Structure 1
Amino acid sequence: MNTAHHLTRRRLLGHTLAPAALLWLSGCATLNSRDPLRVNVVGVEPMAGEGLELRLLVKLRVQNPNDLPIEFDGAAIDLELNGKSFASGVSNQKGEVPRYGETLLNLPLTISAFAAVRQAMSFNDVAEQGELPYMLTGKLAGGLFGTVRFSSKGLLKLPK
């Protein structure tokens, strides 16, 4: 192969790969600017536990306000009540949150006896306020875009 032909091939390859690399990098930047998922607790059911632990099945409605679907292969959540760690859960559920759509996610939560006692001891302070602050953090793992993290916080109104 002559030197001129080799240089022409190298230039052609450079002119092809450079724009492709820029497109790929701009695509990555776009993915980072997507809107966060919206997550709401829509149901809680008791489950059988072991020993001193409490177990709940939490149903989450996950909404995707973006123009690309989010595939997942597993999920994890942590629940704080009144600023203290209360429960955690994992699930190997697979699925997809469609673009501009929603899906239901079922996660078993485990509450240790220690966490339940700690919350019960601080319940009197919270009961006077009539509201219990909570924070739910979690992640949907896997899929084309990797792990997607989410959080939701608010106040639970306590019955009088």
Structure 2
Amino acid sequence: MRRLTGLTLALLLLTLSACALFPNRDPVNINVVGIEPLQSQDLEVRFAVKLRVQNPNETAIDYNGVALDLEVNGRPLASGVSDQQGSIPRFSETVLMIPVSVSAFSVLRQTLGLSQTQSLDNLPYVLRGKLAGGLFGTMRFVDRGTLDLPNAAATW
């Protein structure tokens, strides 16, 4: 029993010291800077979401994939993935384009969720995603804001 306690304590100390080896990183700043239409299929609409990713750290951020989920007005609307890979140098920024798909059912769900008096101006959105970076390098992010879609009904 005493040996087990000593082994557990040693493993705990080893784990804590291993965490100290990983550099402290400030969170990346990610903002939606644009949405462009892409060629769509039968019952879906596709867009390219442009994200500005800013690295406020002293070391580069390497990534090898991006995933996004977009909620509008509290309901899921679009999702997308990309196998892009690259590096964002220290104290630098880049713009990533991620294709996302919006199914006709998501559009219908959004339309039914809007009250008859609610316009398409200033709809709240939440964008959740991750920059994949291996076992300890994956960075999750959230961006919140409002969308102004005055002509969206004509598009769908």
What is the TM-score normalised by the length of structure 1?
0.75
The question of whether the paired residues in 2 share the 8 Å contact of 1:86 and 1:116 is answered with: yes
Q: Contact 2:32–2:143 at 8 Å: present in 1 too?
A: no
Q: Secondary structure at the match of 1:25?
A: helix
Q: Identify which of 55, 60, 65 aligns with 2:51.
A: 60
Structure of greater Rg: 1
Q: 2:97 aligns with which of 75, 84, 106?
A: 106
1:81 paired to 2:72:
yes
Which of the two has greater helix per residue? 1
- In the alignment, the residues of structure 1 paired with residue 19 and residue 122 of structure 2 have an alpha-carbon distance, to the nearest angstrom, of 46
Q: Residue 142 of structure 1: which of 113, 124, 133 is its match?
A: 133
Tell me which residue corresponds to 1:5. Answer: none
Which of residues 15, 21, 33 is equivalent to 1:27? 21
In the TM superposition, residue 121 of structure 1 has moved relative to its aligned partner by 2.2
The root-mean-square deviation of aligned C-alpha atoms, in Å, is 2.5
SS of equivalent residue, structure 1 residue 93: coil
Gaps of 5+ in 1: 1-17
Q: What is the rounded CA distance, in whole Å, between the counterparts of 1:131 and 1:48 in structure 2?
A: 26
| Matching residue within 17, 41, 51 for 2:32 | 41
Residue deviations 1:86-129, cap 9 Å, x none? Answer: 0000001111122111111110000011101111223345418x
1:107-122 matches, cutoff 5 A: 107-122=98-113
Percent identity reads: 49
For the residue of structure 1 that corresponds to 2:57, the secondary structure is: coil
Q: Is the Cα contact below 8 Å between 1:131 and 1:157 reproduced in 2?
A: yes
Runs of 4 or more consecutive aligned structure 1 residues displaced over 3 Å after TM superposition: 123-126, 157-160
Residues 71, 144 of structure 1: 8 Å contact kept: no
Mapped partners of 2:77, 2:147: distance in 1: 14
Q: State the one-letter code of the partner of 1:82.
A: N
The answer to whether the aligner puts 1:127 opposite 2:111 as a matched pair is no
Question: Are 2:147 and 1:156 aligned?
Answer: yes
Q: Matched residues in 1 for 2:124 and 2:118: separation?
A: 9
Residue pair 1:70, 1:143 contacting (<8 A) in 2 also: no
